[in-house]
Structure 1
Amino acid sequence: MLDNIAAEGLEVHSLLVWHDGVLIQDAYWDPYGPERLHMMHSVTKSFTAMAVGLAWDDGLLDLDLPVIGFFPEHRAVAPEGIEAMTLRHLLTMTSGHGRGISGGAWRKLKTSWVADFLRQPLDHTPGSVFVYDSACSYVLSAIVQKVTGRTCHAYLRDRVFDPIGLSPAIRWDLSPEGINSGGNGLWCRSSDLLSLGILHLQEGRWQGRQILSRDWVRAATGMQVRDVSLGVLTGEAYLGPGESHEGAEAERREGYGFQWWRGPRNSYSANGLFGQNCFVFPNERAVVAVTAGMDDEDTRLKRMIHDDLRPALGQWRGAELAPRLAELDLACPPPGNISVAPAGWQGLYLARQNEQDIACLRLEIVGDAIRLVVEDRRGRHEVLAGLGHRCEGMTTMTGARLHHAYEADPPGFRVAAWAAWSASDAEGWSCLTLDWAFVETAFRDTLRIRLRGGELRLQREVNVNSSIRSLPELRADQVAEDCREPEEIAP
């Protein structure tokens, strides 16, 4: 498996394999590690389903109740026929909407997310058509909070997370309404993701204690809807099953449970955008948890797990993997090559007009690292990148357009960054490459800064995103005077 991952050049962050009651292997690619939290995208939906299951177990919810009954204050904005939409339809992604809302759209919305969901037109009879929709999961989170008086996170913390030993550092994003985001935005360790699968493989039992009812787990992971289509993600919406976008077509899948995907050979899984997955194999009594930075359309790792790793379980040959695991690295930093940096490269660069609202940049050497400082409309941001090695820190560097609408608001995102110089090319341009691994997310940015005669050109791209992968080239000129303050930047 490790050979195949390396040969294919896949960006895997962690791979954990549990079989017959034992964690038989856990692999982490540096700078990722066992104590790192990792941003979960749609894997979060399966956590939300647990909260619904607990409320159902407690007799607080009936899955066939109309959704609008929980939000009478929004009835005026809802379309005709809304009374037919039930909790069961939210759980199975059959709400009746023609398109699904992505978290990338709602993270920009500062008003009520519940109201926005309920005002969407009903293109289908609820229960008739599967349309993947993160908003369904959010409304489930809102309903749990209505009936329990607690957020999903608080409810699950007492009833599931603490009893089965999940990380106390788990966090979960909140909407403008103070409700956990439901369909995404939970941050947990890879081992926590593995435990989610183990708990469901064991039909809700953990060390002799029934955490979730067996009936709920069977329903949630069972085949509720067969032969479904995961619509194309445009960045802000999941299209309907018959729609295409920029040549991409809907992906056919085996089926869906309650916020769990059904898979081949009686398997089921929690899947998240850009490579978080928890695969459960009841026939093999196994769970595999993965975090990565990969396109959803890239099925190579999934095929390796289903077709190579799964059949090999139970055939351990005693290979000594410890030295191999210790050497796993996302991308080894190259030598810093500071000796080939051009003369006079340090200093202040005033940006020319640009659509990123960047006013100026500063480059400077700090010990054995390079600091890049950027001032834009959001304020002042910096990243410290080690010359030939990674430096770890926090940054608020603007990047929502490249990071599925996630913005690094204070205190920022944790980043591990390295820098390396390349000698001048035939046209006299020297190149400084910066690699920023946002180690609690799937995102990794690559910046190429070309310098010649006081002129700077910057290109920035990302490994994965739901829309654009690169920003327009930024140009700047080295200046001696102080940079303007951010508040002086023209709108």
Structure 2
Amino acid sequence: MDPAALADVVRTLTALPELHSIMVLRHGHVIAEGWAAPFASDRLHELFSLSKSVTATAVGFAVADGLFDVDDLVLDLLGDRAPENPGDHLRRMRVRHLLTMTTGHDTDPSLAVFPTGGDWVGEFLRQPVEHEPGTHFVYNSAATYVLSALVQQVTGQRLLEYLRTRLFEPLGIEDATWEQSPTGVDTGGFGLSATTEDIAAIGLLYLQDGVWEGRQLLPDGWAAEATRLHVPNGDDPENDWAQGYGYQFWRCRPANSWRGDGAFGQYIVGLPEQDVVVAMTSGRQEMHEYLQVLWDRLLPGLADEPSPPTAHGDLDAAIAAMRLDPPTGEPTSPTGSRLSGRTITFPPNPGGLRSAVLEVGADHDRLTVEVGDQRIEGVVGRVDPVAGTATAGRGSPTLLRGSFRRREPEDVLVSGAWPTPDTYVLTFRFVESPFCLTATATVDGDAVTVTLSWNASFGPPTLPPIAGVAA
């Protein structure tokens, strides 16, 4: 591998906002790894739908254990939670249809299933199934949740526990966490948090046909079966989301390649013909651009000829430059001193922001915010970020929820600066997730206008400006 090409990959990815980490492995060895501060090798990172590939791994173990088969009918396994008169399409739905996102639903039923707050499996089975299973691809996180519930039903263990001795401990994965449904089932299609090295190890295991340190860790043949093309899902040759789907793995444009894929750029990419695995975490809305960098810049640099040792310095420098610093500016402002301790009130707004009080200190500020029915107090670093925790659960107002956050409390780094005398910028970086919230307050006399924006979001990334008045 040409280290100059690797350096080019890292620099190009870093130039795209919000690369959090990258690991590149070839022939089973790590050839490049880096984390953009404040992210670090020992921090967990929320993986979103990359969780699906791990759920499929649990299914593979359960099938090998003889607990069920991919061709078993879903209602034969979960019929006690079915509607009273299930339709013919639902009756013909099999486990493999859950794995391949071909359950027969015309549109993704997840938004109808997950907000119910009760039995998600029962709600899934009550959704209309308009197509013959196996004939219509629709990306469907609720289907993956049903796989998780099925594994828990037949094993008596959460996915996290069932995989601990079979997968996590052999790979050295120690601290992974998984969110749960209201009924105590790991969410399956999302909710797994792990380190970059953890997901790189899973990718390498699949690239090596399930063999780890000479031992057949995955069931024989499962890696090839899970990552191969099972169903088509589009006809655009330039779209990595239209190259087909396996068992909770996507196919990619390069020949025989595959990936595990989570929202905002959480990736395991397997390139079997080049014997390469790439693991990435990030927080970018336009996540396809990361893959394009790999195809355009990584693939041409793959060569078996030795590279000169002098080329490694360029790679080291590119990795050392990976940082995600908060906005810069003056640590103090006369405007900040004038507003210090005064209550800024806001009319009703989509963010649920009711009031804010900024107390200016010698080397840090203190911020008190009322959002919805919550009162939140925290310290704001004016030179270096201040570490704290934040509650941003599913029921929280839009301001805190961002991209439908589910984990709480979360580690957050809070920073504040005055890029101009009358503009105060606050950043809240959730360092175990893809998200960073930026609040920009523009002051004109006693009028304060706040704009809230997320680097990435399932909903609108920026809310309309909120105009308030300082009393």
SS in 1 for 2:221: helix
Residue in structure 2 matched with residue 414 of structure 1 by the alignment: 411
Cα distance in 1 for partners of 2:464, 2:228 equals 46
SS in 2 for 1:344: helix
Inter-partner Cα distance in structure 1 for 2:359 and 2:11: 39
Letter in 2 for 1:95: T
Q: SS where residue 322 of structure 2 aligns?
A: coil
Structure having the higher helix fraction is: 2
Given the alignment of the two structures, is residue 155 of structure 1 paired with residue 162 of structure 2, yes or no? yes
State how far apart, in whole Å, the 1-side matches of 2:430 and 2:397 are.
Answer: 11
Query: By how many angstroms is 1:266 displaced?
Result: 0.8
Instruction: Report the number of matched residues.
Output: 450
Q: Equivalents in 2 of 1:466, 1:371: separation in Å?
A: 30
Task: Give the corresponding residue for 2:428.
Answer: 436
Report the AA paired with residue 261 of structure 2.
N
Q: CA, structure 1 residues 106+391, in 2 after alignment: closer, same or farther (shift >3 Å)? A: farther
- Equivalent position SS for 2:223: helix
List aligned pairs for 1:190-201, cutoff 5 A.
190-201=196-207
Aligned to 2:6: none
Query: What corresponds to 1:488 in structure 2?
Result: none
Distance 2:29 2:155 in 1: 35
* Mapped partners of 1:199, 1:97: distance in 2: 32
Match of 1:352 among 347, 352, 358: 347
Alignment partner for residue 256 of structure 1, among 238, 241, 245?
245
Q: CA separation of 1:357/1:332 partners in 2, compared to 1, >3 Å: closer, same or farther?
A: closer
Q: Which among 111, 119, 126 is matched to residue 112 of structure 1?
A: 119
User: Kindly tell me: are residues 26 and 468 of structure 1, through their superposed partners in 2, closer, same or farther at Cα, counting changes over 3 Å?
Assistant: same
Cα distance in 1 for partners of 2:41, 2:213 equals 22
Distance in structure 2 (CA, Å) of the matches to 1:290 and 1:358: 34
One of 145, 151, 156 as aligned partner of 1:144: 151
Q: Does 2:219 align with 1:219?
A: no
Report the Cα distance in structure 2 between the residues aligned to 1:442 and 1:50, rounded to whole angstroms.
24
3-state SS of 2:132 partner: coil
Measured against aligned partners, the alpha-carbon deviations of 1:211-259 in whole angstroms (never above 9, x if no partner) come to 11121111111111135479xxxxxxxxxxxxxxxxxxx9752111111
Per-residue deviation, 1:472: 3.0
| Partner of residue 380, structure 2 | 385
SS in 1 for 2:243: strand
CA distance in 2, matches of 1:95, 1:368: 57
Once the two structures are TM-superposed, the CA of residue 172 in structure 1 deviates from its matched residue by 0.2
Query: 2:153 aligns to what SS in structure 1?
Result: helix
Q: CA deviation at 1:323?
A: 4.0
Please tell me whether the aligned partners of residues 350 and 360 of structure 1 are also in contact (alpha carbons under 8 angstroms): yes
Answer whether contact 1:395 1:408 (CA < 8 A) is retained.
no
Give the CA deviation at 1:119: 1.0
Question: Shift of residue 367 of structure 1?
Answer: 4.3
1:39 is aligned, of 38, 46, 49, to 46
1:62 aligns with 2:66: no
Deviation, 1:117, is 0.9
Change in CA separation of 1:399 and 1:443 when aligned onto 2, cut-off 3 Å? farther
Aligned partners of 2:67, 2:329: CA distance in 1, in Å? 60
The structure-2 alpha-carbon separation of the partners of 1:467 and 1:333, relative to structure 1 and needing over 3 Å to count, comes to closer
1:475 to 464, 467, 471: 467
Tell me whether 1:371 sits opposite 2:366 in the alignment.
yes
Cα distance per residue 1:131-166 (max 9 Å; x no partner)? 110111000001001110111111011211011101
Q: Write the distance in 1 (CA, Å) between the matches of 2:326 and 2:372.
A: 34
Determine the structure 2 residue equivalent to 1:485: none
Within 5 Å, give how 1:165-180 maps onto structure 2.
165-166=172-173, 168-180=174-186
Give the letter aligned to residue 370 of structure 1.
D
Report if aligned partners of 1:459, 1:470 keep a CA contact under 8 Å in 2: yes
Once the two structures are TM-superposed, the CA of residue 128 in structure 1 deviates from its matched residue by 0.7
Equivalent residue for 1:14?
21
Partner of 1:326: 320
**Matches of 2:406 and 2:360, distance apart in 1:** 27
2:241–2:250: 8 Å Cα contact kept in structure 1?
Answer: no
C-alpha separation between the residues in 1 aligned to 2:117 and 2:235? 30
Instruction: Between 106-115 and 208-217, report the one with greater CA deviation.
Output: 106-115
Superposed displacement of residue 405, structure 1: 1.3
* CA distance 1:227–1:376, change in 2 (3 Å): closer
Match of 2:261? 271
The aligned residue for residue 193 of structure 2 is 187
**Structure 1 residues 108-117 or 267-276, which shifts more?**
108-117
CA distance, structure 2, for counterparts of residue 413 and residue 229 of structure 1: 40
Deviations 1:381-433 (A, max 9, x none): 23433213222221125565763211564xx2211222111334xxxxx1101
Partner of 2:292: 303
Residues 322 and 340 (structure 1 numbering): CA distance in 2 closer, same or farther, change over 3 Å? farther
1:107 deviation in Å?
5.0
Q: Cα distance, 1:298 vs. partner? A: 4.4
- Letter in structure 2 aligned against 1:310: L
What amino acid is aligned across from residue 420 of structure 2 in structure 1? A
Matches of 1:105 and 1:251 in 2, distance apart? Answer: 27
Distance 1:389 1:377, change over 3 A: same
**Is 1:229–1:252's contact at 8 Å kept on the other side of the alignment?**
no
3-state SS of paired residue (2:278): strand
**Percent sequence identity over matched residues?**
33
Aligned residues of 1:416 and 1:438 also touching (Cα < 8 A): yes
For the Cα contact (< 8 Å) 1:152–1:180, is it kept in 2? yes
